[in-house]
């Protein structure tokens, strides 16, 4: 009887020792796998290289309003700024032109009751509010940023000076351009193309509420098809209302490609910069 008890005790001890060794092996093996996985992930991030060195990001004011459709949605703004921060981390020089449609759209909101030039100037002021919101959020993330405006508002921003903007970009600062072109009758899309040409941007990233160029308005025509690429000439001849004709003509004359994509996922900014096929390429 004593021998049976001793043998059972030894068997039980061996069982527990075996279980302990198995779990110990799995635990250490799991840690090594986790470390290896993270190492591979870091190596993959190191291997990634942006396809553009200097970009002009155009953000519509409506996109910054999010689902509110008016004002500022700081959850959206924070997500956008996080994507911009990643681009800066990859060594990309980022300039931004932002619209003001989340506060005021000159001709549309003026409704004939306000003289067109003054209505457009009000729209320029709206862009400045968006510029300051973006700048403050970026600064909270530790990203150096400068705001330059086409109209002189020296108490809150630098005046637009091309060479100074170029120096800021070369020094790793984000430059946000406000007040459009500074002249009425020109859209902020036109301002984006103009600034892109002046600073030598390689591409214009047009971040809007639509995910690309369609053959027709997808909200009105269920048969509308999204286009992966389209030429400037086709954009103009088909009167596709993604950019106004002045902006399209200016980008064509200066041979600056435009990539239109949706801002609902701000990571699209990073994907485009890294060369992933997103949205529609115009050019």
DSSP string for 108-158: HHHTTSS-HHHHHHHHHHHHHHHHHHHHHHHHHTT--EEEEESS--TTTSE
Terminal CA-to-CA distance of the chain, rounded, Å?
91
Tell which residue, 260, 245, 103, has the closest CA to residue 187: 245
Place of tokens 């214009």: 204
Q: Please, which residues have CB within 8 angstroms of residue 32's CB and are 6 or more apart in sequence? A: none
Cα separation of 76 and 89, whole Å?
A: 20
Who wins on pLDDT, 222 or 186? 186
- Give the range among 52-56, 87-91, 101-105, 161-165 with minimum mean pLDDT: 101-105
Check residue 21 and give its pLDDT. 46
In a 3-state reduction of DSSP, which class is residue 8? helix
Tell me: pLDDT of 88 over 90: yes
Check residue 109 and give its pLDDT. 80
**Contact present, 95 and 121 (Cβ < 8 Å):** no
**Contact present, 189 and 258 (Cβ < 8 Å):** no
Check residue 105 and give its pLDDT. 84
**Contact present, 205 and 50 (Cβ < 8 Å):** no
**Contact present, 157 and 148 (Cβ < 8 Å):** yes
pTM of the entire structure?
0.82
- As a whole number, the mean pLDDT across the chain is 86
Other Cβ atoms closer than 10 A to 244: 14
Check residue 85 and give its pLDDT. 98
| HSE-CB of 270 using CA atoms within 13 angstroms | 17
- Residues 106-134 as b or e (16 or more Cβ within 10 Å = b): beeebeeeeeeeebbbbbbbbbbbbbebb
Check residue 35 and give its pLDDT. 36
| Strands, E assignment, the chain | 54-59, 93-98, 145-149, 158-159, 174-178, 203-208, 213-214, 226-227, 229-230, 258-262, 280-282
SS3 sequence, 208-221?
ECCCCEECCCCCCC
Tell me the Cα Rg of the chain. Answer: 27
Check residue 242 and give its pLDDT. 79
Cα separation of 195 and 165, whole Å?
A: 10
Q: For 9-65, write each residue's pLDDT tens digit.
A: 444 455 444 544 444 443 444 433 343 333 334 434 445 799 999 999 999 999 999
Check residue 209 and give its pLDDT. 83
| HSE-CB of 137 using CA atoms within 13 angstroms | 22
**Contact present, 206 and 260 (Cβ < 8 Å):** yes
203 pairs with which residues across the strands? 55
Cα separation of 162 and 160, whole Å?
A: 6
């Amino acid at each position: 009887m004593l021998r049976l008890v001793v043998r059972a005790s030894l068997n039980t001890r061996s069982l527990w020792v075996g279980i302990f060794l198995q779990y110990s092996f799995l635990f250490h093996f799991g840690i090594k796998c986790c470390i290896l996985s993270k190492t591979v992930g870091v190596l993959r991030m190191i291997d990634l290289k942006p396809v553009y060195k200097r970009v002009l990001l155009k953000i519509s004011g409506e996109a910054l309003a999010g689902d509110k459709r008016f004002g500022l949605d700081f959850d959206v703004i924070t997500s956008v700024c996080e994507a911009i921060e990643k681009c800066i981390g990859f060594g990309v020089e980022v300039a931004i032109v932002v619209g003001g449609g989340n506060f005021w759209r000159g001709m549309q909101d003026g409704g004939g009751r306000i003289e067109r030039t003054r209505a457009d100037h009000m729209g320029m002021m709206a862009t400045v509010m968006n510029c300051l919101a973006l700048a403050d959020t970026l600064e909270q993330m530790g990203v150096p940023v400068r705001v330059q405006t086409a109209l002189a508002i020296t108490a809150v921003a630098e005046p637009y000076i091309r060479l100074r903007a170029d120096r800021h970009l070369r020094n790793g600062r984000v430059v946000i351009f406000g007040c459009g072109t500074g002249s009425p009758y020109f859209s902020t899309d036109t301002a984006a193309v103009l600034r892109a040409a002046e600073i030598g941007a390689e591409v214009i990233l047009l971040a809007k509420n639509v995910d690309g160029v369609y053959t027709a308005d997808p909200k009105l025509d269920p048969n509308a098809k999204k286009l992966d690429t389209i030429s400037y000439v086709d954009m103009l001849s088909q009167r596709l209302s993604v950019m106004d004709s002045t902006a399209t003509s200016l980008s064509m004359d200066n041979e600056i490609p435009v990539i239109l994509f949706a801002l609902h996922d701000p990571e699209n900014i990073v994907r485009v910069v890294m060369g992933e096929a997103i949205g529609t390429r115009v050019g």
